[in-house]
Amino acid sequence: MPGEFELIARYFHRDLSAAPGVLLGPGDDCALLAPSDGMQLAVSVDTSVAGVHFPPDAPASAIGHRALAVNLSDLAAMGATPRWALLALTLPDVDEDWLHGFAAGFHALADRHGIALVGGDVTRGPLSITITVHGELPLVLNAASTIDRVSQPILRRDGASEDDLVVITGQPGLAHAGLKAWQSGQRDVLDPCLAAYLRPEPRIDAGMALRELASAALDVSDGVMGDLSHICRASQLSAAIELNQLPLAPELIAALGEQGAQQAVLNGGDDYELLLTLPEANLDAARAVLRASHLSLTVIGRMHTTQEEVHRVSLLKAGVEQIATGQSWQHFPANTTAEVSS
């Protein structure tokens, strides 16, 4: 898009002289970065495609916010401090109003989390946004001053232990209700469900605060059942979730009813809350460190071993195993096998 580069640069190039570790920002072949001494880099990439990951007619500022939020959420799930982002933007045409809104949504969230946009690429094509984020984490060296891969204080997926609690931040499910509301034509962006969907809040502070207290973590993009199964598989354990302990926001129950609310938490996603495992002894400390950010931490289950080779997530209601039947759950029949996730 010759000539249009200038226009686009106007929306995305900013003064980076105060951004930590940025030796050269956009405009050359590469950005140049000076990683901090004694740190390791956490790097992640995510693509948001119009009509697949977001409604093309959503407010441009929400699209900019959301595209960055889902990437920051990956840093949160690792406990990393956000540092640098690269933005690859594929646009069907150059719409200055849209670019202005998109950039405003992107930069507002970026500024709040101290992540600098150091490079990018703009191409012509179907609307799609790919963001690469870089965060930093302490790099622990062992006695011989070499790197020991397993002893790093990182929120990996494979660190859960038997009897660890399964906990979740905040009040998940609202974004799923918001997606349904958007699809049904609601456009009141101040509605708590719609707001949760359009502008999810990456749990950066929580991830950093819980880095040394939790044993495993990920961000919930596909619902608790599916995402917890990733931790089970990586950690070679099973998990049991208690239906009655799910944190259901009153607005969520108002929007979807109680069973719909449970369904949203278990199988909906898009909130990008953190799902973690931790030793019971760390629970009070974990809740204490989240108090500063006014974020709740709810125990929803526990990790356990299984005699079989399979690692699965089971659902209990008042301690009795359930099986999903459409939009509801029933007692688990003794002689069938629940969905296996390993």
Annotated binding site: 29, 44, 46, 53, 74, 120-121, 157, 219, 221-222, 270, 329
Distance in Å, CB of 198 to a copy of itself, minimum: 19
**C-beta of residue 244 within 8 angstroms of C-beta of residue 266:** no
Least Cβ distance, residue 59 to a copy of itself (angstroms) = 21
| Closest separation in Å from C-beta 49 to a copy of itself | 4
Give the one residue of 4, 13, 20, 41 binding a copy of itself; rule: CB under 8 A: 41
**Do the Cβ atoms of 232 and 226 come closer than 8 Å?**
no
H or E stretch covering 133: strand 128-138
Residue with smaller CB distance to a copy of itself, 51 or 257 = 51
Is there a contact between 22 and 16 (Cβ–Cβ < 8 Å)? Answer: yes
Which of 216, 213, 171, 217 has its CA nearest to residue 192? 171
Interface with a copy of itself in residues 212-251 (CB under 8 A): 217-219, 222, 226, 234
What's the 3-state SS for 40-54? EEEEEEEEEEECCCE
Decide if residue 156 touches a copy of itself (CB under 8 A).
yes
* x/- map, 81-120, a copy of itself, by CB under 8 A: ---x-xxx-x---------------------------xxx
The residue (of 155 and 194) whose beta carbon lies closer to a copy of itself is 155
Going by C-beta distance under 8 Å and a sequence separation of 6 or more, which residues neighbour residue 73?
200, 202, 203, 219, 221, 272
Question: Can you state the angle between helices 96-112 and 60-76, rounded to 10 degrees?
Answer: 30
Nearer to a copy of itself, 44 or 282 (CB): 44
Strand partners, 331: 322
123 binds a copy of itself, rule: CB under 8 A: yes
SS3 321: strand
| Contact call for residue 168 and a copy of itself (CB under 8 A) | no
Please tell me what DSSP assigns to residue 262: H
132 or 245: CB nearest a copy of itself: 132
Q: Which residues contact 218 (CB under 8 A, 6 or more apart)?
A: 77, 157, 227, 230, 231, 274, 275
Among 11, 12, 62, 74, binds a copy of itself (CB under 8 A): 74
φ and ψ of 178, to 5 deg: -65, -40
Query: At its nearest, how many Å lie between a copy of itself and the CB of residue 131?
Result: 9
Of these, 15, 97, 149, 326, which contacts a copy of itself (CB under 8 A)?
149
Instruction: Using CB under 8 A, list all residues that contact a copy of itself.
Output: 2, 23-24, 27-35, 37, 40-49, 51-53, 74-75, 77-78, 80, 84, 86-88, 90, 118-121, 123-126, 128, 130, 132, 134-135, 137, 139, 147, 149, 152, 154-158, 217-219, 222, 226, 234
